[in-house]
Structure 1
């Protein structure tokens, strides 16, 4: 099973961002039929940890580790962290270009949650990506199918974007299915 751990913005925040993206050059390119690989609004998420392929027999261990991380996180807080989507950036170059929107608000609380999740996974000797956590939400993977100047113009426009404020209320364990139409299955959730 291919697994990751995430926090998902609510529909209102996703709709607000989707309206912004529709007005970008990348949105116009998608509307014109260019495969700029816009993120599906139904699947947008903030990845806290990517586990990759995990044997199904270890699912109980994964859930136990995540349950402990969520519990420890809640013990140190009075309320769910408040976040918003705003600003923008770009990873990679040429074929590997990714356009993303930044996360604002109580980002340090989100980073603390990511550290707790990774710590519990490590303690349980479960696989996970060790890349440094960078709170972001992928908007599109245009690669080299859109002119670099257009991508840079969209990134600059996203710098001025500020979405609505929302509480991160749950930690999710998600199974992903790769393919031309990726699918995500929510396996478990814990309150924050």
Structure 2
């Protein structure tokens, strides 16, 4: 099973972001039929840890580790952390270009949660999500189908974007399916924050 751990923004925040993306050059390109691979709003999430392929027999270990991470995070907190979507960035280049939106608010709390999740998982599994944690939601994968100047203009527009505030209320374990058809995600388990 291909697994990752995430927090999801609420539909109101996703809808607000969607309206912003529609006004960007990448949104106009998608509306004109260019395959800029806009992210599916139903799948917008902040990945805290990517586990990759995990044997089904180890699912109980994964869930136990995540339960301990959520419990450790929750201890001492009066309320789930608050965020808003805002700021923009770009990963990769050429075919691998990704446009993303960042988070504002109690972002340090998300770094703490990601650290707890990764630490607890490493204690039980040979998982190696060595990439540094950078909280973001992928907006589009325009690759080389758009001029880099247009992508940079969209990134700059996202820098000025500020979405509505929301709380991260649960930690989710998600299974992703890699098929020829659009990505599918199944929610396997959740823990309150």
Aligned to 1:138: 138
Aligned to 1:6: 6
TM-score (normalizing by structure 1): 0.98
Aligned to 1:184: 185
Q: Give CA-to-partner distance per residue, 1:8-62, whole Å, 9 cap, x none.
A: 0000000000000000010011111111010000000000000000000000000
Aligned to 2:37: 37
User: Post-superposition shift, 1:76?
Assistant: 2.5
Task: Rate the CA distance shift 1:172–1:3 in 2: closer, same or farther, 3 A.
Answer: same
Is the Cα contact below 8 Å between 1:121 and 1:128 reproduced in 2? no
User: Post-superposition shift, 1:126?
Assistant: 4.0
Is the Cα contact below 8 Å between 1:49 and 1:128 reproduced in 2? no
TM-score (normalizing by structure 2): 0.98
Asked if 1:99 corresponds to 2:117, the answer is no
Question: Does the residue aligned with 2:143 lie in a helix, a strand or coil?
Answer: coil
In the TM superposition, 1:1-192 aligns within 5 A as 1-179=1-179, 180-192=181-193
Runs of 4+ in 1 over 3 A off after TM superposition: none
Q: Which segments of 5 or more consecutive residues in structure 2 lack a partner in the other structure?
A: none
Q: Distance in 2 between matches of 1:126 and 1:4?
A: 14
Count of residue pairs brought into register by the alignment: 192
Is the Cα contact below 8 Å between 1:62 and 1:126 reproduced in 2? no
Q: Which segments of 5 or more consecutive residues in structure 1 lack a partner in the other structure?
A: none
Question: Once superposed, what is the RMSD of the aligned Cα atoms?
Answer: 0.7
